[in-house]
Amino acid sequence: MANRAKAAMPGFIKPQLATLKMKAPSEGWIHEIKFDGYRAQVHVDKGMARIFTRNGHDWTKRFAAIAGAFRLKSQTIFDGEVVVVHEGRTNFSELQADLAKGRQDRMLFYAFDILFHNGEDLRSRPQLYRKERLKELIDMLDPPVLYSEHMEGDGHELFEAATRLNYEGIVSKRADASYRSDRNEAWLKIKTVQKGKFPVVGFVKDPTGVAALYLGKKEGKELVYMGKVGTGWDRTTSGKIRKALDTVVSPKSKLSKQLKKPKATWVDPVFTAEIEYRDITSDGLLRASSFKGLSKN
């Protein structure tokens, strides 16, 4: 039988994307921690590496330290995530801050898939096969290049662990599935959320209610600013929030450190907003926040 002809190394490959689900699947899947970073595709061509963003932009210079760690003499395409680990978990805000400063010493690349290797297009191969081939190659390299570990079976256990550790969530992948360059249900993302209650310190008006709420947090005797929330209510709820806050309007902010917010109507921190959020940024502000309820202190 003739050997299969070797394929030429392709250019940038549009990445496979995960579909958001509420619950992790069980048998027939593998599960990985969801990284909070920048999706990246690494093209290694006989000792030289180029790194592309998920939209195909060449960011090799911005990730030069990672590119330099791919000393393989092969032709290989890796899929993964560039991250910065801060306080024990990947932190997108810290990564953005490092990119803005041109700092690369904290950046890591977690490889979670391999798409091509030495003339073989691996995208048609099953997910587990690709992970095995991936591990063989990543084991030959050193940090900042790392292998994304996975577990098989029911993903609920890993999701519970991710929740306890305040990770972003998990990604579940069909063990027998090929790699497809679109958003599909062979890859699923199950996200954790954090919840908290924050004093409302102000709001932005809209014609019938509120466009946004400004939030604070008590730290000792200080009332510090925690950012704003502008989603999570319908028109009826927005009107009810406005009616409640109109009763406690204040001539100036009650925050310990005054802020310039020209559109703000400041209030006494009498009401508390229940908020779901993804993270707290390096600037101390809520990230990806959503309103869930209002109560009076």
Q: Which residues are identified as catalytic?
A: 34
Please calculate the CA angle 256-258-262 and round it to the nearest 5 degrees. Answer: 145
d(CA 4, CA 2): 6
Positive or negative: CA dihedral 36, 41, 47, 48: negative
d(CA 130, CA 80): 13
Amino acid at 261: K
d(CA 162, CA 32): 10
Beta-sheet strand order (sheet of 183-191): 17-20, 183-191, 169-174, 29-33, 151-152
Place of tokens 């997910």: 127
Query: Quick check: 133 and 98 in contact, CB under 8 A?
Result: no
Lookup: tokens for 295: 């109560």
- The one-character DSSP state at 35 is P
